[in-house]
Structures are given as structure tokens and as C-alpha cells.
Chain A
């Protein structure tokens, strides 16, 4: 799929653009972008995927967390040329027909307030839970240590993870 791009581009910029192919949330795009663009710019400005947030832009807050080829990355630290031929999953992909159980747990336990860190938190947790459905508390703390939240103080987030674990355990038990 080709995209017109949402960004207004000047002709001066277009001269130096590089071409990249990228698969985002199951859809492939061919884009001509400025070589100094970062993945976060492509997602937010060119593809209109604003669920990925920008906050510190130096890889310290995790608001722009996305999954690239199965690994959690800060989209502010990934350059445009590095995403050529890569598969990216953003928050917009987490809930397709129904919301993910971790999103449901966030709602039930009040794991969010302003919500600006929430997409990054959710994608980070989902990426952990995809690998390990029953992480220990220590693993959760390690995994989320790169995602800052200024509103909740994190206790609600930990309760949401606990709820997720309890519920997936009970589903598991039910199946048995």
C-alpha cells in the first residue's frame, strides 16, 4: 500500500529522501522519507498512528514503545533506514476485534490516568506476556522499568498485571 503521507513536505526535503519498505500492523507501506527521520516520526506523521506517543525522545520514558521484529524498542531511537523491511507492531494492533485481556485489566484496576504512557505500557506488557504468560513480579518490574508513568505511581499497573495473571490462570484451570 502506498500512502500519500499526512506530513506536508517541502521540495527541499524531498530531494534527499530515502525509500523504505515497512510492514506496520500487518500492512505494508513503501515510503520516501527523510533519512534523519525516526520510526516514531514515520508512525505518527506519515502513517497517522498517533497511539505511539512522544515524550522524552531519548529512550528514557518508553511512551513510544513499539514491537519491531518481535523485540520491544523505543521508536524514538530507531532511525528510518533501520526499519527498512522490518515488521512493526504498534498499540493500534493490540485490540482488533476485542481488547486484549491486559487492556481490560488496565481498565478494571485503574492502571491509567492521563493515559499518555498507557499505549507504551500496554505494548511493553503485551510483548512480555506474549513470551511469558506468567511472569514473576521481578520480571514484570524489570520489563517495565523503562516505561515512566507520572500519574498512577505504578501500583495500579501492578494490580492490572496481577489481575491478568489471575484471570488467565482461571481460564487455564477452566480448560483443564
Chain B
């Protein structure tokens, strides 16, 4: 079904946070100002790899207006952070391993003074050999960046010992190496916020994160203080895309707040955000894929090298995900996948929308298209021959929730007009082409990884139905989705609801707002609370009104009595007043659904997507313009159609940027692209004006898991659809992203392309 207002009239809702956003009245955490507030700044390493011989802060401390300078000596607890392996120094003591490493931090009466003070801190470095390439890091002779060496993580999956042998026997074999860029999250709001100390020695942290409780745990460890003394307020957020899940400015603002006893505001400048912030893992992927005469995929050999940068953060999980998704939605009998995530002195790579799926999907789908060309077969036909069935095992041999999504999105995209309408292939200096790609994407953290969630439903004394989750709103539309699910599942009006998120003092732990898990976790939470809630409310209403419980139901504004004409017998407000204490509260704890098979990291719930793209190539400049982009997505029932559409369309343009423009260019482990003058994001002039999103909402009857999240799926298969269209337009295969107009232009000159005569239409 086309995702447009007409098809979802009752669910097409204005988002609850919309009004404050369009009027500019919403206070983001970086907008906050507190009385007596100081400004913080962080000194980052001058070298991508150096021994720190000495740090002298005397001159900075003497500067008028400077209130505190902190170094590693001021970290009371563990001087390390990291979501899984705490290996990154909060403030470096002996060695700096990348240009984002923090050496010291300053609190001053103004940002300008703090900046000046930073320049007065004298650090004596002894520069060390720099590893700026993961392949160099793997050499025997390479300097070791961490005590355990330069390999962060290895992951693999092998379904057969015979892979290379069977591939050698195949009549059709494609071997190619693909490379993807160090994409930046480029959230419009850079990392920042305020840490406010309280009288009892505790702190309140107002700073963006995707997981308030994890920040609280990490901060407690760093500050050597109990978690109960730390409150993390983490919403609203001006964009995240995975980039704010890891700690960023919080420890520095917290250390300074505790040292000065005053609120500290710390808001990264864009260049500092680029320097210190995580990025998408650049990956180099070699794939050798073989198919038989009929087009059945027989063998698939994959080697992945991921540049994880200086520290671990979520590097291991990203690699696991890439390995798992290297075969996509295809059935391939002989598979051998090996991945390695390698430390370098480059910028730290970590969590990013798509989580390793985007890189391998580009490579895999490109392989399929190359095979199709070799066989002179329609590329969608080749996909159809090899696509998984609903009941097939998952890519790591694990059981997954049966779903026809893969087949459905493929069949939906086949009817996209991008692929079916006549195409004028050449027009003056412009060449046109079209292509498509598909993907499947796991949700949640995967088998063997704690992935719990919690929800709480309560009647407040004001008579509001308060729903609380430990999630954050960073734009994805969580608040709207909660509101829609609440009115849908509890029958209440949106005016009855109070939503509480993003505050560790007020919400249950729900896990991270990541991995396309929140929508599903919210649905499951409300679904579990629905019955106990109804029971409690109806019991109370019955005892107050004397009407038998079986005649009552919960609805808009209050409790209603069934009858020829239903009538409301007590409002939620009146009901709340009838309690002197112990207002109704229901809580639940649950876990993201996981596969019953002990395959570490293996996913259980999936979403599926197909993308069709049309491009124009300017033969004079080599520039590519994506003129049309269509999507088919299967992710279960649509909860919040406007939010869904925004995630798919927005994700697609992020994918377009990944394909055509975006790369955080590093040389000798230093960034060249420090802001939006050199790091190019898609603008409104770079997007396809024609775009359609079609959805498949079907779930099998046995599927009790409800709607899946769509935060990531819109970005995953965009690149290979665009590069397939480029090949269709000019005959050139792209294997490195972002596509270089210069290289394309050179290739165009070298390989005059003749259209397949049968394909030329109009």
C-alpha cells in the first residue's frame, strides 16, 4: 500500500512535539542556561598518536575568569569509557591514540575565556608512529595501539568447508573489492548540554544520549559515585542516528561541575564534533560469488576489514552485524564470511544507522547485479531465483520469525514505474539509467546480548494516564508513536495521556533507543500492560460507581458503561480523585525477542526493503543526480505513518549522501573535512523530487511480535540501487563510495558505452 495520507487517514497525526519545534520554543538541552553557569571546553590531542610526557595547566589556571582545569589526575573513578569495553581514556594519562582524544578540560566564565585557556595548557608530546590504515595495522611490524594488539574483533560464519572449491566450479563467478566511506552522522545539533551539581554532591546531566541509564552507569564508574546520585535527562535531541549513543561531552562537564560546584555548559563546535565524534566504519569488502547455469547462487566468499579507529565502542557488534548481513535475503548453500575490525589512529568508528548493514549490502547487491550482467539475466529475476522463503533459516543458520517480507518487497519494487516506464536513455549531455536493490535487516541487539526493556503505566493524581519509557526522542517520532499506540490499544484520547521519557529519575530502564528496537519495545510494553491496566481501572471504577465491572470498558476521557448507547460513568480525573493514595500503577519488564538458537549476535525479527533508483549522469562533469527513488518496505503494521514515511525518506537521503557525497576524509589520521564546507551533505537541490514509499504490513498469524522499527531500514539498500542505475546509464561499475565524479568521467572517456539496443526506448 502506498504510504500516503489518504490510505492512513485515522493515523496521520501531527507529532506532539511539533508545535514547539516549528515555533522555536522547544528547549533543546544545548539551549539551557542555568544561574551561575560556567562554560566548559575540552583540549584534544595535537597528534593522532603520541606519548604524553607532561601536562602543564598553570598558565590556564591563572587566566582571569578560569574556574577550573581538569586532567587525568582529577578523574576520581575509572579513567575509561566505552559502551561495552571501557578502553577510551576520559582524559589521557600516558598516550593519545587519535586527534579526538581528550587531554584536559577547562571551566570558565565565558566560552571565549575557556577557549583561550585551552590554548594556554602546555602539553609535551612525543609523537609516535601513526597507523592510518587498517591493513597497515595488521602487519607484523606495526606498532601496537592497545595492549592486546591491533585487532579489536574477529567474526565469521562458515556453512561449508568447500566454498572456494564450489565457486571454482561455477560457470559464473564475480570477484570484486568494495570500499565504503567514513560517513559522519552530521546531526544538526552537535553534542552538548549542561551538568548541574546539587547540594548533596550529586549531579543532574542534561545532555543528549540514546540511552540515559547507560550514561548514568558509565558516569558513575568515572566519577566514583553511586548511580543514584546521578540523574540523566536526555531529551529532546537534535538528531543522533546512532552517533550520540556513546558518551561524548558528559564526563567533562560532570568533572568540571563537581570541581567548581557550578553548572557547566559544554557544547561542541562542529569541528570538535567531527574530531571527537564517532563515524560509520569504513569497510573494505572482498566478495567472490559464484552461480550455476540456472542462476542459483552456489558459493559466497566474503572478507571484511573494518577500520574501527582508536577505540572499541560498538565496533565488535557492528562487525558481527556486517558478517551476519553479508548474504542478505538470499539462500546460498556454501558461505564463508570472515570479518576483522582493526584499531588504527583514525577517528573512532561506532554505531551508525544501519549498523554495518549498509556497507555489506552495497557490496552484496553489487555482486548480484554483476552476476546478472554476466549471465545476461534480468537482475530482479536473479534475485527472485535466490530469494529466501518465509520459513527459511536466518543468515547464520538461526531460526528467525517467519515472514514473506523479502519476496513481497521484491515483487512490489518490480512494479515501480522507475523500472517499468519507458526511459529516455540519452539527452544532450546526460545519460539516464535505473536500478534496484533489496535488503533484510535485523532488529534488536541479537542473541546473547542483554536487550531488556521496561514500561510503566500509571494514573496520576491529576487524572492523566502516564506512560513511561526509558527511551529518547531524537527526531524519530517516538512521542507520536507512543501517543498513537496508547490511543489505539487503550482506547483513551490523546488528551488523556502524559508521556514521560528521557529522564532516569522518572522512567523505567528500557534499554537503548537504538537498533530499530524502540517501536517494537513500546508496542510490546503497552501490549503487556493493557490487560492489567484495564483490570485495575475497571475494578476501581466499579467500586466507586457501584456498576458491575463486566459492564464497563475504558475509553476516551474515562470509564464507560456498555449499553444501547454507551455512556461515560466516571472520568479519569474523578477516578484519580477517589484515591487517597496508591493510585493504579502497572509495570512490566520484558526482553527483545531473540532466536531460540544459540548463535551469538544472531537476529530474530527482521525488516525488508527494496529500492529503485533513476539517475542522470552529466557527461561533461561526471556528476550524478538521483532523479527518482522508490521504496518498498515490509516491517509489520504501520503504527505512525507520517513518522514511518519520514524515516524512510530521510534515511534514503542519508543513503544518497553515503553513495554520492559524504566522506570524512583523513590523511595521516587527521581530518581534512571539519565542517559542512568540505563535508558535503545532500541539500534540497540534490534530492529526487519524485519518491514513493510502499509498505507491506502483513505478518503471519503465528507472529505475535507486532510492528517492527523502521529507523534504519530506509538507509540500507539505497547505495546499490543508485550504483546499479549508474551502471545501467553508462556501463560503469562503481566499487568505491562515495562515487567520484572525476573517476566516473575518466572511465566514461575510456569506455565508450553502447546501449543494449533492445533496451533503448522512446
Contacts and interface: CB of A to CB of B under 8 A. Distances in A.
B676 A60 contact: yes
A31 to B, nearest CB: 15
B22 to A, nearest CB: 4
B64 A10 contact: yes
A113 B26 contact: no
Contacts of B597: none
Given A10-B113, A103-B22, A150-B187, A110 B683 contact: no
B676 A148 contact: yes
B238 interface: yes
A55 B267 CA distance: 10
Interface stretch (B301-309, B322-330, B684-692): B684-692
A151 interface: yes
A149 B188 contact: yes
A84 interface: no
Nearest to A51: B24
A146 B37 CA distance: 33
B110 A13 contact: yes
B646 A114 contact: no
Contacts of B646: 110, 113, 151-153, 156
Nearest to A60: B676
A151 B31 CA distance: 20
B358 to A, nearest CB: 16
A29 B88 CA distance: 47
Contacts of A153: 646, 649-654, 682, 687
Contacts of B608: none
Nearest to A48: B33
A99 B20 CA distance: 11
A154 B650 CA distance: 7
A39 B477 CA distance: 32
Contact of B21 (A112, A144, A145): A112
Contacts of A56: 270, 675-677
B584 to A, nearest CB: 33
Interface in A89-112: 90-92, 94-95, 99, 103, 106-108, 110, 112
Contacts of B113: 10, 12-13
B684 A145 contact: yes
B475 interface: yes
A34 B116 CA distance: 15
A53 to B, nearest CB: 7
Contacts of A113: 239, 475-477, 646, 650
Interface stretch (A116-124, A128-136, A165-173): A116-124
B681 interface: yes
A109 to B, nearest CB: 8
Interface string B183-209: 001111110000000000000000000
A116 B189 CA distance: 6
B26 A115 contact: yes
A58 B269 CA distance: 11
Interface stretch (B11-19, B541-549, B736-744): B11-19
B553 to A, nearest CB: 32
Contact of B23 (A61, A103, A141, A149): A103
B17 A95 contact: no
B369 to A, nearest CB: 24
B758 interface: no
Among B65, B682, B683, which residue has the most Cβ atoms of chain A within 10 A? B683
Contacts of B424: none
A42 to B, nearest CB: 14
B36 interface: yes
Contact of A114 (B23, B237, B684): B237
A70 B429 CA distance: 40
A150 B188 contact: yes
B643 interface: yes
Contact of B269 (A50, A57, A92, A142): A57
A90 B188 contact: no
A18 interface: no
Contacts of B14: 107-108
Nearest to B27: A50
Nearest to A105: B22
A91 B237 contact: no
Contacts of B185: 150
B676 A107 contact: no
B109 interface: yes
Interface in B236-283: 236-241, 267, 269-270
A10 B107 CA distance: 13
B684 A144 contact: yes
B19 A10 contact: no
Contacts of A60: 675-677
A6 B39 CA distance: 13
B24 A92 contact: yes
B111 to A, nearest CB: 9
B23 A51 contact: yes
Interface string A21-54: 0000000000000101000000011001011111
A56 to B, nearest CB: 5
B612 interface: no
B642 interface: yes
A54 B28 CA distance: 11
Given A60-B676, A91-B23, A50 B188 contact: no
B176 interface: no
A156 B475 contact: no
A147 B684 contact: yes
Interface in B374-412: none
Contact of A116 (B22, B238, B267, B642): B238
Contacts of B645: 110, 156
Interface of A: 6-13, 34, 36, 44-45, 48, 50-58, 60-61, 63, 90-92, 94-95, 99, 103, 106-108, 110, 112-119, 122, 137, 140-142, 144-158
List of 10 A-B pairs having minimum Cβ-Cβ separation, nearest first: A51-B24, A114-B475, A115-B21, A116-B238, A153-B653, A91-B24, A113-B475, A50-B31, A119-B24, A60-B676
Given A55-B270, A114-B187, A150-B186, 17 more contacts: A9-B109, A10-B64, A53-B238, A56-B676, A58-B675, A92-B25, A95-B22, A113-B476, A113-B646, A114-B189, A114-B237, A114-B240, A117-B188, A153-B646, A153-B650, A153-B654, A154-B684
27 contacts: A10-B109, A12-B113, A13-B65, A13-B110, A51-B23, A52-B24, A55-B189, A57-B269, A58-B676, A58-B677, A90-B24, A95-B22, A110-B645, A110-B646, A113-B650, A114-B237, A116-B188, A118-B22, A119-B22, A145-B684, A147-B684, A149-B684, A150-B650, A152-B650, A153-B651, A154-B653, A158-B684
